[in-house]
Amino acid sequence: MNDSPIVERELHPRRGIPTLLLDLLMLLLSIVLAIVSVPVLAGGVIFLGVLMIVAAVCMFVAFFVLLAGLKTVRPNEALVLTLFGSYYGTIKQSGFYFVNPFCSAISPAHDKAAAMAAKKEKESGGNPSSTTEINFSRARISLKTMTLDNGRQKVNDVLGNPIIIGAVVIWHVSDPTAAVFNVEDYPSFLSNQTDSTVRNIARLYPYDIFDEEDQETAGEKTLRGSSQEIAENMKSELQKRVENAGIVVEEVRITHLAYAEEIAAAMLQRQQAAAIIAARQKIVDGAVGMVKMAIDRLNQDEIVLLDEERKAAMVSNLLVVLCGNHDAQPVVNSGSIY
């Protein structure tokens, strides 16, 4: 059965400078007593000499005990302390403090060597985009705003097309106690949840809409055209997933979006075909309007009277000239049109 959630308790310990001065004084006294005890023992005062040696040893041991209680907290960092396996408290204010010497500072994050090993292992098999290297100190939880570049991963959109998508997450730790005790390794936890969130959201939308059938099937939003709205959806879902770990997601942005290599060429041809069709349609509409305007103007001004056969020939010639891909070669007719 799981334990009840741990409520964060912020500590306000006393300053460490007075304790450090006292500690150094005890070290100095222990050295002086050890030196003085030698001539005392040589002079035959055994009891006093032994008492001085015992006092020197006790002060020397106390020096190291008190030294273990001195903790340094830098700005935008937190120190989570435990005492004999139980949660003791969290220090969030920067400074030099003295706490219970038997308290130990814990952090679930690996050291740099372990993080690099995990990165290589993850890149060798599975998804190479879901690991990011985070630099941190072993015993402190950083409260700074950090960036998680989750790389690129291959997913299928709502139409089944394989795409390559990458996202970056701006985040920070708001509850260091939850980050330590609720998850094993909060940077890896965030990275894995980001992978899952990007995959789940990306498969709900198409990469792009080419025709009306796709639009009716997939809705109006697309990964290419509605990246801002989709990023907000990713942020909302990711925040729900990592809230238990004391992490606040500030922003999610899509940094890379493209078709997968196996269909990129075919989709490019499809986009080119759609663009050509749209351009041709616009050219034809304009050409028809220009032909109609020319015939109406000729009839209105009675410049020349054309029968239906000549009108058809004129329309054909004008459409060829206006809709052709190449420049027309003019032919001058010096005879009668009849």
* Range with lowest mean pLDDT among 27-41, 244-258, 268-282: 268-282
> How does DSSP classify residue 10?
B
What are the angstrom distances between the C-alpha of 90 and each of 14, 148, 169?
14, 25, 26
Residue, of 129 and 208, whose pLDDT is higher: 208
Residue, of 321 and 335, whose pLDDT is higher: 321
- The predicted pLDDT at position 109 comes to 56
| Domains of the chain: residue spans and CATH | 14-106 (no CATH), 112-259 (3.30.479.30), 265-323 (no CATH)
- The predicted pLDDT at position 335 comes to 53
Q: Is the pLDDT of residue 283 over 50?
A: yes
Question: What length is written for the chain?
Answer: 338
Q: Is the pLDDT of residue 265 over 70?
A: no
Mean pLDDT of 175-185: 87
Burial of 220 (0-12, 13-18, 19+ CB in 10 A): exposed
* Range with lowest mean pLDDT among 149-163, 201-215, 232-246, 251-265: 201-215
Q: Is the pLDDT of residue 247 over 70?
A: yes
User: What percentage of residues in the chain have a pLDDT greater than 90?
Assistant: 7
Q: Is the pLDDT of residue 42 over 70?
A: yes
- The predicted pLDDT at position 132 comes to 42
Which tens digit of pLDDT belongs to each residue from 144-164? Answer: 899 988 788 888 878 777 888
* Range with lowest mean pLDDT among 95-99, 162-166, 215-219, 295-299: 215-219
What are the angstrom distances between the C-alpha of 158 and each of 123, 201, 264, 271?
27, 10, 17, 18
pTM for the full model?
Answer: 0.66
Which tens digit of pLDDT belongs to each residue from 54-92? Answer: 888 898 898 888 888 888 888 988 999 988 888 898 988
Q: Is the pLDDT of residue 310 over 80?
A: no
- At which residue do the structure tokens 């460490």 appear? 16
Partners of 172 in the β-ladder:
248
- Where residue 125 falls among pLDDT bands split at 50, 70, 90? very low
Closest CA to 204 of 219, 225, 194, 224: 219
- The predicted pLDDT at position 172 comes to 92
- The predicted pLDDT at position 338 comes to 54
Residue 313 has phi, psi (to 5 degrees) of: -65, -40
- The predicted pLDDT at position 229 comes to 86
- The predicted pLDDT at position 55 comes to 87
- Where residue 217 falls among pLDDT bands split at 50, 70, 90? very low
- Where residue 266 falls among pLDDT bands split at 50, 70, 90? low
- The predicted pLDDT at position 333 comes to 57
Residue, of 273 and 227, whose pLDDT is higher: 227
Q: Share the mean pLDDT of the chain.
A: 76
Burial of 237 (0-12, 13-18, 19+ CB in 10 A): middle
